[in-house]
Amino acid sequence: MTGHWRLWQDQNEDREISFHYDINATHMFRDWRRHTFELKNRPNSAYMLVYRQEDGGRQIFQPLANISTLDVRVGIPIQVDAVAMLNMKLCGFSFDLGYNFWMRGCERMTRCDCDDTRYFGGGRIQGTWYLKGDAQMFAYGNTKGAYGALTYKYLNTPDPVALSVSQSRATIHDAPRGTAPIDPVGAAPTTGLTGGTQVIANSGVDNPVIAENPDAAAAYSQPGAAVTQHINQSAAAIAVTTNDLDFVRTRGLSHKIFGHLTYELDSCGFDAADCRPAVPFIGVGFFGEFGDNGSCNNNCTNICYNSCVKTSLSQWGIWLRGGISYK
């Protein structure tokens, strides 16, 4: 809807005050989109590493974003963009002062299902995935040498031992730490260990147990004859599921004020026959937009979760322009 009113004009028609408005309301029907989601209450978690365990100890690593990018149907019930402006003309001067209101309603989002599935995406990224955090993914075997000293020998395999671990509570900044288990020197089963008290590696993994190598002997955090530090793995690793994802939706609201002053470099009062066909002009303007970035709002209904975040930006700007208009 667009219109204007001429509030005042002098008899020479070179001075006037007018009011202009333009209102647009839009409904956006639902369509399939591909969105990348993060873990609940963990900003930037889309960049964290997850991994999948395969047969033979092979591990596949991906950023979480590779498996949390899902197809969803998104629609917007209403979007409103309204402008009201007052214009004043005086000889070669023209001044605009206006207000712009913009609002976008909360997105309506649906997925194919909302169950606690462990399967994401398709093709090579399908499967059960675990959050790595900063956990160490491999351990090393250790056995006593011919003289009773602790020396490293890779038991039954020339490769390190792959661990099954997860850190389901990790964030991109930090990983949880359990109560640090310690092995006092001389205490079973670490009789003969040297180096004093040893803190067990991977203390922050889910459901921790001491890792073992294929011969059911203790495994250690690093290779080398002098290394005495045990390492944990997860007795039951906790997989990332769709219930861990934050299916947050967005809405927006902003208020903008703007102004612009233009001057045409032509004298006021010329007769029509004396008017020049090309008239140079110069102008300067400004705007300030104030976005609403309130906290999560629970008034919007979501098929799986109950969050709708305001994400409008605040910004400002000034400009200077010039040119030539032809009559």
Paired tokens of 80: 């409103």
Paired tokens of 207: 């459901």
pTM, entire model = 0.66
- Say what the pLDDT of residue 3 is: 94
pLDDT digits (tens, 9 = 90+) for 280-293: 999 999 999 999 88
Return the ∠ at Cα 256 (arms to 250 and 258), rounded to 5°: 155
Of residues 140 and 107, the one with the higher pLDDT is: 107
% helix / strand / coil in the chain, to the nearest 5?
A: 5, 50, 45
Written as one letter, the residue type at 188 is A
Phi, psi angle pair for 66, to nearest 5°: -70, -25
Q: Please give the full DSSP string across 196-231, using - where no structure is assigned.
A: SSEEPB-TTSSSEEE-B-TTS-BEESS-STT---BB
d(CA 249, CA 298): 11
Secondary structure of residue 84 in the 3-state scheme: strand
Flag whether pLDDT at 62 surpasses 70.
Answer: yes
Q: What is the DSSP letter of 67?
A: H
d(CA 239, CA 130): 5
Return the ∠ at Cα 100 (arms to 99 and 103), rounded to 5°: 145
- Say what the pLDDT of residue 211 is: 80
d(CA 220, CA 176): 21
- Other CB atoms within a 10 A radius of the CB of residue 323 amount to 9
d(CA 26, CA 60): 45
For tokens 């032509």, what's the residue? 266
Question: What are the distances in angstroms from CA 183 to CA 140, 230, 244?
Answer: 18, 9, 35
Domain, as residue range, for 51: 2-127+243-326
pLDDT digits (tens, 9 = 90+) for 194-218: 333 345 678 788 998 888 766 556 6
Asked, for residue 308, whether it belongs to a domain, the answer is yes
Number of domains in the chain: 1
Please say whether the beta carbons of 234 and 166 come within 8 A: yes
Paired tokens of 248: 């947050």
- Other CB atoms within a 10 A radius of the CB of residue 100 amount to 17
Percentage of the residues of the chain whose pLDDT score is greater than 90: 35
| pLDDT averaged over every residue in the chain | 77
Written as one letter, the residue type at 35 is H
Asked, for residue 263, whether it belongs to a domain, the answer is yes
Please say whether the beta carbons of 285 and 261 come within 8 A: yes
